[in-house]
């Protein structure tokens, strides 16, 4: 158990809908990272927050957004969902930021029908 929690574990929804994925980092960690893992693309970095502020952006679509709250938990919002958004979404956390070991949560499996 890495200490990173994610909810929900599974999510099934329809195209065009909007969902919110939630992540709680390990106790004491200030950075949260979001990744998408699909069969076609492997593990892709989406976005990083550090102590409430956006720190780095990867291949995140404009339909996706994220935020980190004062208690350091983070939410990833996915809107106007498409079939191709079906994937595993992982959250990771680290103590500070760049160069620190990232510990991953168990993931949320999103299925868009």
Partner 1 sequence: GESVGLHLPTLSVQEGDNSIINCAYSNSASDYFIWYKQESGKGPQFIIDIRSNMDKRQGQRVTVLLNKTVKHLSLQIAATQPGDSAVYFCAENPPAYGQNFVFGPGTRLSVLP
Interacting residues toward partner 1 by CB under 8 A: 2, 4, 33, 37-45, 48, 55-56, 58, 90, 92, 98-99, 101-107
Q: Closest distance between partner 1 and the C-beta of residue 111, in Å?
A: 14
Q: Is the dihedral of CA 94, 98, 104, 109 positive or negative?
A: positive
**Shorter beta-carbon distance to partner 1: residue 52 or 79:** 52
Report the distance separating Cα 24 and Cα 6, nearest Å.
6
Q: 27 or 101, CB closer to partner 1?
A: 101
Distance CA 72, CA 11 (A): 23
């Amino acid at each position: 158990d890495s200490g990173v929690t994610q909810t929900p574990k599974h999510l099934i929804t329809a195209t065009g809908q909007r969902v919110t994925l939630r992540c709680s980092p390990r106790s004491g960690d200030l950075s949260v990272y979001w990744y998408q893992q699909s069969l076609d693309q492997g593990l892709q970095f989406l976005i990083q927050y550090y102590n409430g502020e956006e720190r780095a952006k990867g291949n995140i679509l404009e339909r996706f957004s994220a935020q980190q709250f004062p208690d350091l938990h983070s939410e990833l919002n996915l809107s106007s969902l498409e079939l191709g958004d079906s994937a595993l979404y992982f959250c990771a956390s680290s103590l500070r930021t760049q160069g620190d070991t990232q510990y991953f949560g168990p993931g949320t499996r999103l299925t868009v029908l």
